[in-house]
Amino acid sequence: MDVSMIDAAGTALGMIFDPWRMMLLAMGVLMGLVLGILPGIGGLAGTALLLPFTFSMDPVAAMALLLGLGATTATGDPIPAILFGVPGGAGSAATVLDGLPMARRGEASRALSAAYMSSLLGGLFGAALMALCIPILRPVMLYIGSPELLAFSVLGISFVATLSGNAPLRGLTAAALGIMIAMVGSDPQTGTLRYTLDTLYLWEGAPLVPIILGIFALPELADLAISRTAISGNMAKTDRHGMIQGAKDCFKNWWLIVRCSWIGAALGAVPGIGGAIIDWIAYGHAVRTEKGAAQSFGRGDVRGVIASESANNAKEGGALVPTIAFGVPGSAGMAILLGAFMIHGLVPGPDMLSKNLHVTYSMVWSIALANILGAGLCYLFSEQFARLATLRYTLIMPSVLGIIYIGAFQGSRNWGDLWTLLAFGILGWTMKQLKWPRPPLVLGLVLGEIIERYLFISIQRYGIQWFSRPIVIGIFAIALFGLLRPFIQDIRREGGIRGMLSGYSVPKFNATHLMHLFLIGLFSVMLWEASKWNFSAKIVPTIVGTLGLAFLFVSFLNEVSRKPAMAGAGASAGAGAGGDASGSGSNSETDKIHMDLESDTGHLSPRTVIFRGVLFFGWLLAFMGSMATIGLIPTVPLFVVLYMRLEGPEPWKLVIPQAVGLTVFIWFVFDQLLTIPWPPTYLGGWFPWLKAFVPSV
């Protein structure tokens, strides 16, 4: 860094410490934390809301406000993820895997503290990387083309084997299903409508937010309602000692934070990769590299929280690099930030590294200071947050469900978002109960469209030569090794392929195998549907669907025919082609390795679990029915009252304040402040009779 850069950095720091700009930064931080805590809302809506208010500000003040919000949304995300198993945003889904089990055993404070500290350190690392590497990375970013972006996406898919635990065939099947779902919508090459079910809603594809909330949030809430307990009945560790321990964990695992922060910042700087997979890639990296991770991750290992959150916050600094250097937004939030650039006459490119260098470094300081302020505020109120995990389920369920429905509606602001939430909630709960890993499905969903898009672009621009680029070859080699590693280990363990093919017995079927049959039917229908399309539209779905069917058949054969002892012997990080040991029968220690949350309803009979599960999803259908009739806002107090009285029953002194408070909060924040256009109802709007008396409502 030369003298001019040091001078610009010092000037920018002095400008940021102006009281007015610091106040704007603090306001952005506060809004970012609130939006991060609200499941599914995210910072995108808040950034768009604040943009018009920056018209009269100078560029440094405007960037302080906007980046204060954008940089700290990820800091608030882990709060609902850890306490309720509800990801605050798509980027905090991996935090659920270890954060929620820690909360269940009374370590909510420790998990929250580790999340805050790793977020802080990750955010600072991302800011530092941006400050040091913008001039250096410019030629590197110019070299990266669609083949390299395709290779990065394939590398992300290779983490499926790691995130599948001891069930790689199930994990690969789930990933294939996710990629097939990513194919929904209008094909960008030919305009062919794929898997749209003849509905206009699916023309632009399946929205990510309702699917993420359905796959990860609703199953945890369903299990909470089924077990009918608090998330944690133990407050012994949810105190100041837990906060100190969580911070110590971060410094103890500082090298893990550095590595995952580098992953987050580097992938954040690659346009098109997306923040929804960065935490999974960092989590998968930690599983592969940390000692004993395969046995402890997914069961409340603090290192899982640290890996996910450090990468999640570091990505913001990385995403600014292509935005500033090339005018190519690294994320959706950065696309809105480009709008602020135009408003204030800032041109991305060489000018940002020369005459506007002080503005560039003001962004670096804004991100760094925002992370410090955000972590400080979270630490200040963390003990209060942690106590939420000890409340009865009837006290927290109505409010969380109400916010989840609003968060899901942000997908495309269509009724289809709510049906998508419900459908994937049922799918996610079923997968969790039957020990089908859910992270690979999300990974495939996020990366499927990216892989298809960059594959066609690479072929059109470079022909077959795209595969010979050095970076592409290196990344593909790493990805292939990652996918084949579990199978190679099992072949060695069982003495070769001949040993793997022995040990089969008479098939034995049970109810858990119905999931295999359902997915076989689903893949078959999707392949049959794809056969009608032209070549460009069907090539990727056909390949992926065929592979998914192959994985399913082998997994199904292993589970119904393979002897339990042999299945146990063949279950390492995965059972490979010889034994998907996550099926029934294996009692080995390795059968306990499961890279996903395990259901905490094992103490109940299957009949009770099914009955209460149906009851929970019945409440959701009733919520949607009421919403379709009278609107969302009047449904909220009605739902709160009925749920708390019928499920509890809770006393009226608790029911009435929560019903009124939640309704007022939703009305003010989402109806008045964010002006969300609610879906139409049979009665024509929400509270039509109230509008007749109060026209301004």
Q: What is the mean pLDDT of the chain?
A: 78
Task: Give me the percent of the chain exceeding a pLDDT of 90.
Answer: 11
- Tens of pLDDT, residues 239-285: 678 888 888 999 999 899 989 988 888 887 776 565 667 888 888 88
- Tens of pLDDT, residues 148-174: 778 877 877 777 766 666 677 888 898
pLDDT for 570 beyond 60: no
Exposed, middle or buried by CB within 10 Å (0-12, 13-18, 19+), for 561?
middle
Return the H-helix or E-strand segment holding 77.
Answer: none
User: Using 50, 70 and 90 to split pLDDT, how confident is the model at 228?
Assistant: confident
pLDDT for 591 beyond 50: no
Query: How high is the pLDDT of residue 467?
Result: 80
Query: How high is the pLDDT of residue 206?
Result: 84
Query: How high is the pLDDT of residue 427?
Result: 93
pTM: 0.74
Residue 539 resides in a domain: no
- Tens of pLDDT, residues 496-535: 666 656 656 667 777 778 888 999 999 999 999 999 888 8
Query: How high is the pLDDT of residue 571?
Result: 38
| φ/ψ of residue 331, rounded to 5 | -160, 175
DSSP code at position 191:
-
The answer to whether 278 and 312 are in contact (CB under 8 A) is: yes
Query: How high is the pLDDT of residue 693?
Result: 37
Lowest mean pLDDT among 119-128, 216-225, 268-277: 268-277
User: Using 50, 70 and 90 to split pLDDT, how confident is the model at 197?
Assistant: confident
Residue 617 resides in a domain: yes
Residue 185 resides in a domain: yes
Q: What is the mean predicted confidence (pLDDT) over 660-667?
A: 89
Q: Of 472, 506, 525, which marks where a domain is finished?
A: 472
Task: Give me the percent of the chain exceeding a pLDDT of 70.
Answer: 78
Count the Cβ atoms, other than its own, within 10 Å of residue 149.
21
Query: How high is the pLDDT of residue 640?
Result: 92
Asked whether residue 459 falls in the same domain as residue 310, the answer is yes
pLDDT for 309 beyond 80: yes
Residue 574 resides in a domain: no
Query: How high is the pLDDT of residue 272?
Result: 58
The answer to whether 318 and 265 are in contact (CB under 8 A) is: yes
Instruction: Decide which of 593 and 327 is more confident.
Output: 327
Q: Of 449, 472, 495, which marks where a domain is finished?
A: 472
Task: Find the domain containing 222 and state its range.
Answer: 3-390+397-472
Query: How high is the pLDDT of residue 42?
Result: 59
pLDDT for 582 beyond 50: no
Query: How high is the pLDDT of residue 234?
Result: 54
| Exposure string over 477-497, b if 16+ CB within 10 A, otherwise e | eebeebbebbbeebbebbeee
Query: How high is the pLDDT of residue 528?
Result: 94
Residue 422 resides in a domain: yes
> How far apart are alpha carbons 542 and 535 in whole angstroms?
10
The answer to whether 627 and 199 are in contact (CB under 8 A) is: no
Query: How high is the pLDDT of residue 162?
Result: 65
Lowest mean pLDDT among 86-90, 134-138, 461-465, 621-625: 134-138
Query: How high is the pLDDT of residue 670?
Result: 78
Query: How high is the pLDDT of residue 641?
Result: 93
Residue 535 resides in a domain: no
- Tens of pLDDT, residues 310-362: 888 788 777 777 777 766 666 666 767 777 777 777 777 667 766 777 888 88
Residue 591 resides in a domain: no
Lowest mean pLDDT among 17-26, 49-58, 202-211, 434-443: 49-58
Query: How high is the pLDDT of residue 512?
Result: 77
Q: Of 456, 472, 488, which marks where a domain is finished?
A: 472
Concatenated DSSP letters of 140-152: HHHH--HHHHHHH
Instruction: Count structural domains, the chain.
Output: 2
Residue 166 resides in a domain: yes
DSSP H helix total and E strand total for the chain: 31, 2
Instruction: Decide which of 506 and 561 is more confident.
Output: 561
What number of residues does the chain have? 697
Q: What is the mean predicted confidence (pLDDT) over 283-309?
A: 86
